[in-house]
Amino acid sequence: MKVLITGGGGFLGSRLARALKARDPKARVTLLDIAFPGGMERDFKCVSGDLAAPEVIARALERDTTSVFHLAAVVSGGAEADFDLGYHVNLDGTRALLEACRHLDSPPKVVYASSVAAFGGKLPDVLDDSTTPTPQTSYGTQKVIGEYLVADLTRKGMIDGRSLRLPTAVVRPGKPNLAASSFASGIIREPLNGVTTECPVPDTTGVWILSPRRVVEAFIHAHDLPADAWPSSRVVNLPGITLTVREMIDAMGRVAGEQAVARVKFVPDVRIQGIVKTWPARFRTEPALAMGFKADPDFDSVVRDYLATEGIVVPA
């Protein structure tokens, strides 16, 4: 197995790389990103550079590559703030990557990380896989275009594509990023690390959530499924759990105590609210469940998993 992971320096990409190597120590895994955490170069081939540059892709994508996980993106808030950069990376980069995949020795499996930001505007209370994408952000638009490109190249036999519309991944470790959804991790991560944080949205805001552990499992499961398990659209909405901000904070309180809850301060941010309110929070995901994808059982377990993974000990 010879693998390329774009966005391989990010927290999901690096976790996916280690999970693939743990499953198959003989797998050859290349990571493409603009930067990498310390130590990744010891274990993986790391290529840094612009995803949209053909010469960079040529260094990362060897002709006998069998599998591509395309995770790299300028995230939602960043793509909305910088129109040109968002389209350069999220559209031009995806197009350049898929074009290079056409010329490999054999059509590779391509797992594409899309987003529920594909949806927006006037929507039903509960969405399913038949709901027409109507993105209301540049990021969502770019992700939908990517889905269509993956489906079309698959139809032509150039790749074997599989697109996953990801819920918001919570709890993300590390520092906040430019994603509009960054608050969903911040209101848990910072308090658990003893830091006061600001929540830019009301506590009634609903969020469709999947833990990082389940996201990585979903990438690998999507890759392993046979081609005929996928619909003609080549895309599914992943299962998740719907929670309000208040329900998330309450779950943190049950696991870590009220001192953590007290570290969350509500400071409205109209720009973030304007983006987040376009995203749906409730889905029926029977197709994905039938394909074997899994949601987290509850948010308490997500908080406990974050504490265990990061080695954080909550005072008794």
Q: Which of 87, 139, 148, 306 is catalytic?
A: 139
**Considering its fold, how many domains does the chain have in total?**
2
For residues 140 and 25, membership in a common domain is answered with yes
User: Cα–Cα distance between 194 and 129 in angstroms, integer?
Assistant: 40
**Given its phi and psi angles, is residue 205 left (phi above 0), alpha (psi -120 to 50 degrees) or beta?**
beta
Tell me: do 123 and 263 sit in the same domain. Answer: no
Do 133 and 29 belong together in one domain?
A: yes
How far apart CA 6 and CA 99 sit, in angstroms, is 15
Nearest to 199 by CA among 128, 305, 143, 273: 273
**In this structure, are 112 and 137 located in the same domain?**
yes
Q: How far is CA 79 from CA 91, 99, 113, 138, 140, in A?
A: 11, 23, 16, 6, 9
Structural domain contains residue 171: no
Mean pLDDT, all residues of the chain: 95
Q: What are phi and psi of 115, to 5 degrees?
A: -155, 155
Position 178 pLDDT exceeds 80: no
Q: How confident is the model at residue 101 (pLDDT cuts 50, 70, 90)?
A: very high
- Please report whether residue 291 resides in a domain: no
Q: What is the pLDDT of residues 7-59, one digit of tens each?
A: 999 999 999 999 999 999 999 999 999 999 888 999 999 999 999 999 999 99
> 187 and 123: one domain?
no
In this structure, the answer to whether residues 137 and 202 fall within a common structural domain is no
- Quick one: 273 and 129 in the same domain? no
Structural domain contains residue 174: no
Active site residue 112: no
Tell me the mean pLDDT in the region 212-237: 98
pLDDT for position 316 = 60
The CATH number linked to 61 is 3.40.50.720
From CA 143, how far away is CA 116, in angstroms rounded?
A: 9
Whether the pLDDT of residue 249 is over 90: the answer is yes
222 and 89 within one domain: yes
Report the alpha-carbon distance of residue 198 to residue 84 in Å, rounded: 29
- Could you read off the pLDDT of 270-293 as tens digits, one per residue? 989 988 888 889 999 999 999 999
pLDDT beyond 90 at 181:
no
C-alpha 282/C-alpha 201 separation (Å) is 18
Inside any domain, residue 176: no
Q: Does residue 229 share a domain with residue 146?
A: yes
Helix (H, G, I), strand (E, B) or coil at 18: helix
The one-letter amino acid at 88? H
CA dihedral 218, 38, 74, 22 (to 10 degrees): -10
Q: Which domain holds residue 48?
A: 2-166+211-237
Q: What CATH code is carried by the domain that includes residue 301? A: 3.90.25.10
Q: φ, ψ for residue 127 (rounded to 5)?
A: -95, 160
Q: Are residues 103 and 245 in the same domain?
A: no
Q: How far is CA 203 from CA 135, 264, 276, 282, in A?
A: 24, 11, 13, 16
- Burial (CB < 10 A; 0-12, 13-18, 19+), residue 273, is middle
pLDDT digits (tens, 9 = 90+) for 183-219: 999 999 999 999 999 999 999 999 999 999 999 999 9
Q: Specify whether 200 is located in the same domain as 217.
A: no
In a domain, 177, yes or no: no
Mean pLDDT (whole number) for 108-112: 98
Angle, alpha carbons 287-90-56 (nearest 5°)? 120
Query: What is the enclosing helix (H) or strand (E) of 169?
Result: strand 168-169
Task: Return the percentage of the chain with pLDDT > 90, whole number.
Answer: 89
Give domain status of residue 315, yes or no: no
Residues 47 and 123 in one domain: yes
> Quick check: is 95 in a domain?
yes
| Tokens of residue 100, six digits | 């290079």
Structural domain contains residue 45: yes
The CA-CA-CA angle for residues 72, 3, 294, to 5°, reads 70
